[in-house]
Amino acid sequence: MSKKIKVGMLGIGNVGTGTYRALEMNHDLIAARTGLDIEIVKILNRSPEKDRGISVPAEKYTADVNEILNDPEIDIIAELIGGIEPATSYMAEALSKGKHVVTANKAAIAANGPMLASLAQDNKVMLRFEAAVAGGIPILTSITTALLSNELTQVHGILNGTTNYILSQMSMYGKSYEEVLKDAQEKGFAEADPTADVEGLDAANKLSILISLIFGISASPDAIPTRGITSVSNVDIAFAEEAGYKIKLLGSAERKGDKVYGNVEPVLLPVSHPLASVNNEFNAVFVNGNAVDELMFYGRGAGPLPTGSAVLGDIIGISKRIDKESAYDNLPQLRYDSPLTFAGEGSSKYYVRMAVPEKSGILGKITTIFGEYDISIEVIRQEADKVEGDEQLVSLIVILFDTEKKKLLEALDKILKTDAVHSIENIMRVETR
């Protein structure tokens, strides 16, 4: 009655362990619902002595990747090593040998998506990577199935749990960035080297994948303007909250005409925006479609079991098609063929915090220069408290009406050359809804 599906797994770290456990827990339920008897038959494991907290029969382990890639019995390869190489090469080899591939690897898909997608197509096999974006949240499945009825015009994602945890804790408890980061590292929510998370690089990989799926163009992570959360201070958070905003690190992209604008940066979101209530380690993806209007998908973006849930979901999706001997249908489909072009950062409302000397005439100079650049000021406020570490300086915060980022930077450059401003401390987009 039930069809046997054999899976070879490359890597048994957090995601591999979670995938193995999710299958252990739900194998029988999956079989009852789908008629599929899925088994992970071989696992590439270069440290078999390490205790993973799961009981895997020793004979499933191998230290030789070829034992898995060359096994004619294996239908699906789950690549869960992470990093661009050797993961990309292993996936390319698997696809070339006519094996379906599931991966959680955002870096490899963002870097080598075009090559891997075309290999999959040439070999009439499927390549799936739901786990690569926002962990357990079925956002790629939704975009590439149920939402095909829409032109999606916008995407905004809280795509990194570590940075959302840090910003949430700073906001909730008034703690400093350094304090929260240390605490997050102790709790295992942040890595010893947090660069990829706090500088926004992890989010840029995920946004790159979303841009391909939604807009059908390539925007490599290097081409996406990316700024992390290290410039966000408690002064920014306190001001934003008083003014009715929450600060979130967003990966965003939006189509305007034949251009797609997008970046990764901390953004001021109105508290009424659904993303503003997404706290701590949770992720969420907000999309806007021309028929469906607003949608938000919320859940855990990391962790062994939530990510394993997505990997296993992709394995089931492929297995059902193998079982039915149904035609090749590569979903989600990475596309790079749309006539749109990626154009980096566009225009927006902006928040700027400057450190200024406490003397008269400052505001006049600043507003005059903004005026020269046709940039209108919505809010301007000088903070009473001195800037930390310099008794001569206070914070001056402005919120500016829609302006091009490029023009804003030119104006700020000119302002910096006067004696009115000591330094530009932070620039963040202000999102309206």
CA distance 261 to 346: 6
Interface with a copy of itself, residue 324, by CB under 8 A: yes
Q: Please, what is the minimum distance in Å from the beta carbon of residue 278 to a copy of itself?
A: 8
123: Cβ contacts below 8 Å, ≥ 6 apart: 95, 96, 97, 98
Q: Please, what is the minimum distance in Å from the beta carbon of residue 300 to a copy of itself?
A: 5
Interface with a copy of itself, residue 290, by CB under 8 A: yes
Interface with a copy of itself, residue 118, by CB under 8 A: no
Interface with a copy of itself, residue 150, by CB under 8 A: yes
Kindly indicate which of the ranges 58-66, 100-108, 273-281, 346-354 contains the residues binding a copy of itself, using the contact rule CB under 8 A.
Answer: 273-281
- From the list 99, 106, 206, 246, the catalytic residue is 206
Site string for a copy of itself, 201-220 (x = CB under 8 A): ---------------x----
Residue 206 appears among annotated catalytic residues: yes
Interface with a copy of itself, residue 137, by CB under 8 A: yes
Interface with a copy of itself, residue 3, by CB under 8 A: no
Interface with a copy of itself, residue 373, by CB under 8 A: no
Residues of span 380-399 touching a copy of itself by CB under 8 A: none
Site string for a copy of itself, 5-24 (x = CB under 8 A): -------------x--xxx-
Interface with a copy of itself, residue 293, by CB under 8 A: yes
CA distance 224 to 208: 8
Interface with a copy of itself, residue 58, by CB under 8 A: no
Interface with a copy of itself, residue 124, by CB under 8 A: no
C-beta separation of 259 from 140 below 8 A? no
Among 313, 350, 395, 405, binds a copy of itself (CB under 8 A): 313
Interface with a copy of itself, residue 1, by CB under 8 A: no
Judged by beta carbon, residue 48 or residue 303, the one nearer a copy of itself is 303
Among 6, 97, 321, 422, binds a copy of itself (CB under 8 A): 321
Among 132, 299, 342, 408, binds a copy of itself (CB under 8 A): 299
Among 17, 266, 317, 421, binds a copy of itself (CB under 8 A): 317
HSE-CB for 127 with a 13 A CA cutoff: 29
Size of the site for a copy of itself (CB under 8 A): 64
What strands, in cross-sheet order, belong to the sheet with 76-79? Answer: 61-62, 36-44, 3-10, 76-79, 100-103, 127-128
Q: For residue 383, what are the CA distances in angstroms to 20, 110, 236, 239, 269? A: 54, 42, 11, 9, 21
Among 58, 72, 326, 359, binds a copy of itself (CB under 8 A): 326
Q: Is the peptide bond preceding residue 332 cis, with omega within 30 degrees of 0?
A: yes
Interface with a copy of itself, residue 194, by CB under 8 A: no
Interface with a copy of itself, residue 146, by CB under 8 A: yes
Q: Please, what is the minimum distance in Å from the beta carbon of residue 337 to a copy of itself?
A: 9
Interface with a copy of itself, residue 47, by CB under 8 A: no
Among 310, 334, 400, 427, binds a copy of itself (CB under 8 A): 310
* Residues assigned a catalytic role: 206
What does the binding site for a copy of itself look like in residue numbers (CB under 8 A)? 18, 21-23, 25-26, 29-30, 33-34, 130, 136-138, 141-142, 145-151, 216, 272, 274, 277-279, 282, 289-300, 303, 305-306, 308-310, 312-317, 320-321, 324-329, 333, 335
